[in-house]
């Protein structure tokens, strides 16, 4: 009964390919996020999605697109993968976002380790 789950755990692919990472949360949370953690362990938010409101970090290339079929799922699609996309991608969720800012605990998935060759 994992709270936030991601698949796959590991993803190795060639440059130029298109891939997806899936995320599901069974906590009933309203807001979901995608983070990228690079080799230096810097964690950067990519997207947050709340009641159909998508907030995008302006530094994220448009090759990355989140897709939410319902409140419990937020998938990440990546087109034309590049070497620099290699990183660990974390999905997270929180109960809600109050007054436009994050006041709640975020629960993280186990991460997807992406390696682009």
Query: What is the DSSP track for 54-103?
Result: EEE-TTS-TTEEEEEEETTEEEEEE-S--GGG-EEEEEEEES--BTTB--
| Residue 115 near another protein by CB under 8 A | no
| Residue 10 near another protein by CB under 8 A | no
Task: Give the x-and-dash track for 54-93 against another protein (CB under 8 A).
Answer: -x-xx-------------------------------x---
Sign, Cα dihedral of 115, 82, 34, 51: negative
* Cα 24 from Cα 93, distance rounded (Å): 9
| Residue 107 near another protein by CB under 8 A | yes
Binder of another protein out of 48, 66, 76, 116 (CB under 8 A): 48
Chain positions contacting another protein, by CB under 8 A? 33, 35, 41-45, 48, 55, 57-58, 90, 97, 99-111
């Amino acid at each position: 009964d994992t709270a936030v789950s991601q698949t796959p755990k590991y993803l190795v692919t060639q440059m130029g390919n298109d891939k997806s990472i899936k995320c599901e949360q069974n906590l009933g949370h309203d807001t979901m996020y995608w983070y990228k953690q690079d080799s230096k362990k810097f964690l950067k938010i990519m997207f947050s999605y709340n009641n159909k409101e998508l907030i995008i970090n302006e530094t994220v290339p448009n090759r990355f697109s989140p897709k939410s079929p319902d409140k419990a799922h937020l998938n990440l699609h990546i087109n034309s993968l590049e070497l620099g996309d290699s990183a660990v991608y974390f999905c997270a969720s929180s109960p809600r976002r109050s007054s436009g800012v994050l006041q709640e605990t975020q629960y993280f998935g186990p991460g997807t380790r992406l390696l682009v060759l």
